[in-house]
Structures are given as C-alpha cells and as structure tokens.
Amino acid sequence: QKEVEQDPGPLSVPEGAIVSLNCTYSNSAFQYFMWYRQYSRKGPELLMYTYSSGNKEDGRFTAQVDKSSKYISLFIRDSQPSDSATYLCASSGGTSYGKLTFGQGTILTVHP
Amino acid sequence: DAMVIQNPRYQVTQFGKPVTLSCSQTLNHNVMYWYQQKSSQAPKLLFHYYDKDFNNEADTPDNFQSRRPNTSFCFLDIRSPGLGDAAMYLCATSRVGSETQYFGPGTRLLVL
C-alpha cells in the first residue's frame, strides 16, 4: 500500500466549476500536508500548506485535512483554464529532514 | 528573485554514458533534495543533503551519486544510465525545520 494515495484522474471540468481533489494517507506520523501544482514539463509549485487538521483558504483555493479519517482535500472555486495542471498532494512528518511523500497526482483540465 | 535553477533543462545521453545534472539555489537553504519523477508518477526522493551531510534513501540505486561542493550548488551524477533512468529529475530546497520545499523546473533526461 502506498503511503499517500491519489486518484490520477484525469478530471475534466467546465470553466467556473468547483473542483474537488482528494488524497488519503496511511502514515499516522504525517503532520504536514501540502498541495503542489505542476504544469506540463515544469517543476512542482507549492500551492497550499496545512499543519495538522483543519481548513486553510487562499483566494479560490481551500485545503482541508481530516486526520481522523486520514483524508486530504483541495477545493478550487470558479475554476479557470489556467488551473489546468497536475495537482500533487504531499505529506511529511516523522523524519528529521522534512521528507515529502507524494501522491501520484491528479491531472485536471478546465475547458472554456 | 530567489530561486532554484536546474541545468540543463533537457539532457540526452547514451546507454551507459555517465551524465551530470546540476542544481543551484539563491535561497540560501541548508537542505537540498533530488527527486526522480517518471511519467505520470509521484516524485520519488533519491537523497538529500543537510548542509554537507549526505543522506541516501534506502532504495536509491548505487548508480546514482551526488555532490554538494557548497551551499548553493548540488550535482546529481548517474554513473551508467539505463533506459529505466529516463525521467524528470527535480531538485528542491528547504530551510532547516521547515516542511516547505521549493522546486526547480527539473531536468528531463532521455537515455538512448
């Protein structure tokens, strides 16, 4: 079993839709949860960062972590074609050097 | 702007011919990481440096080596590339104690 599981999609939505991206994890030591956005042939870019359980909002993006169910979510409101990318969830904790364990990534396409 | 730079962006090598990928950073971060990302897969940590201390992941093949001559630069050496080593190689940095990693744009390696 992978430590972080993510549905690879692909996910295709119309412009303006609300997008929900999800991951599950198995390692109880994980305390930090991130979402990275990766455009085609580029490096991952940090989008959202959350410590422990709770919600965090930044503009059109909301990250949720439920540690009781080991569930991580990213919501994108009013999605735009420029949001088309691969979204990677990542978790860390339990190591001294901030090792990130990534999900496989979900490919999102927002069409006009 | 502070950033993580990787060179070259694309590298073509022959089966068995040694290749070196480079990473530099202007963030002055103590920790530098090398990841391998194959198509449609999660980035996989190969090793990391905490200052000059090198730390190998247990499942990183011996074929992969790294050097960090100073804080700003880090190199990934692949001694005898095989066809299975074709991938995107990502360099990332972080401050000690921070779980947030900043990625470079990656080097796409093709092995012929």
Residue of B nearest to A96 (CA): B97
| Cα–Cα dist A4/A47, whole Å | 18
Residues of B in Cβ contact (< 8 Å) with A8: 40
Q: Do A93 and B101 touch (CB under 8 A)?
A: no
Q: Per residue in B17-65, pLDDT tens?
A: 999 999 999 999 999 999 999 988 889 999 999 999 999 999 999 999 9
Task: Provide mean pLDDT across the span A23-51.
Answer: 92
Of B55, B99, B108, the CB nearest to A41: B108
Instruction: Calculate ∠ Cα B18-B22-B27, nearest 5°.
Output: 160
